[in-house]
Structure 1
């Protein structure tokens, strides 16, 4: 087993306090957002990554270096899974939707996290044809129509968490990743895919959202609500069952 911590944060409540923690380049990028909701998510996501680095490396948040060099392609472009420079044993993943930001991290295994807003207007039949394996699609089709959107997004978050852990992104077709069991499976894993089984865990997030965690070891999980950022990241106690108090859904913003 490996210790895994997941921070759950409300962008509406915390983005103003997060903004001073950004680098100059991040602050400039944040000002280019047209959507205030998307801007808040970006600001809080980057601030939480910096605070994680500050806590683990013992340096001020503004001195934390976040690397994004792709480790899977020869070009090594600036599009890979983020990592903290100077902390090679630490793995983390971040995701956001609505007004929620999740950051999962572990010193003992690789992690991937995904959260989505439960949008009942989506068309599971159309999206499922492109992203689900045949058995997953059959299971979805067997459900009452009203239950299909939530089940589709449950599967989607598990797939996204797996590919984010591996760092492959959408270079791996989601339909090739089977997630209808306790682990993610691929018939023909691509180069660089983890050799270890990818364990999948549903995360208890507020009503209106669904979230999943992928790990390369069975997780000893602690979910923590981010309460404040004024003196570093201030966390609530580990939550059992329900991760946080209910947060209003702010539709139209996602990863």
Structure 2
């Protein structure tokens, strides 16, 4: 089993406290956001990456260097999976939606994570044609219309978690990634994809959200809620071992 820590924080509650942790460039970028909600998510996401990186590495937050250079592009653009410089054995993934920021960290396996609000407005029929495998689409079509958006978003988070783990993002067509089982499977994996199909875990998050974790080993998940950035004040860690949160959980 691979230990994975999943951290969840509320941007409405903590964004103001997170402001001083941003770099000058991040502060300037945050000021360009028109949406207050999007700005809060950006601020807390960037601050938590630096603050948790500090805790894992044992260095001051200002010494944590996050690199987002794409390892799959020849130009190394600033759109790759983030990683900490000088911490080759530590892998993490970050996602946000609504008012929540979610981060998954592990030194025992590769990780990818995604979270979405279940009330997100979308057309499962239109999006499903571009993002679902044939079997996934058939299962979705068999559901009552009212149940399709939530089911689609659960599939979506599992696909996003898998491609984020591998660092490929949307360069991999989501329709080619099948996630209706315990692992994320591709018929023809691209270069850099894990040798074994990533394992998928449904994470226990507030009921208005859905979230998924992808890992390259069976995970032992500790879910932590961040309630205060001062010294990382935490609610007690609780193993995510409920039936709906186990490795390979169905959706």
Q: Which interval holds the TM-score relative to the shorter structure?
A: over 0.9
The structural deviation recorded for 1:234 is: 2.1
- The residue number in structure 2 matching 1:57 is 57
- 1:1-255, aligned counterparts within 5 Å? 1-119=1-119, 121-231=121-231, 233-240=232-239
Q: Could you state the TM-score of these two structures normalised by the residue count of structure 1?
A: 0.92
CA distance in 2, matches of 1:242, 1:41: 28
Q: RMSD of the alignment, in Å? A: 1.4
1:248 maps to none
CA contact (8 A) 1:94 1:113 kept: yes
Q: After TM superposition, what 4+ stretches of structure 1 lie above 3 angstroms from structure 2?
A: 240-243
* In structure 2, C-alpha distance between the alignment counterparts of 1:149 and 1:86, rounded to whole Å: 41
Encode CA deviations 1:202-253: one digit per residue, 9 max, x unaligned. 001002110000000000100000011023x22211235699xxxxxxxxxx
1:157–1:211 contact (8 Å) kept in structure 2? yes
User: What's 1:250 paired with?
Assistant: none
Give secondary structure in 2 for the equivalent of 1:183: coil
Q: Could you tell me which runs of 5 or more consecutive residues in structure 2 were left unpaired when the two chains were aligned.
A: 243-251
Deviations 1:121-174 (A, max 9, x none): 421111100100000000001111111100000000000000000000110000
Partner of 1:252: none
Q: Is the 8 A contact 2:199 2:215 kept in 1?
A: yes
The unaligned stretches of length 5 or more in structure 1 are 244-255
CA deviation vs aligned residue, 1:13-40 (integer Å, no higher than 9, x gap): 0001111111111111111111110000
Distance 1:79 1:97 in 2: 19
Contact 2:220/2:240 (CA < 8 Å) preserved in 1?
no
SS of the residue 1:206 aligns to: coil
Q: Secondary structure at the match of 1:184?
A: coil
SS of equivalent to 2:162: helix
Residue-pair matches, total: 242
Residues 93, 105 of structure 1: 8 Å contact kept: yes
Give distance in 1, aligned partners of 2:76 and 2:30: 25
2 CA distance for matches of 1:159 and 1:241? 20
CA distance in structure 1 between the partners assigned to 2:115 and 2:13 by the alignment: 18
Q: 8 Å contact 2:222–2:240 — kept in the other structure?
A: no
| Residue 196 of structure 1, CA deviation | 2.3
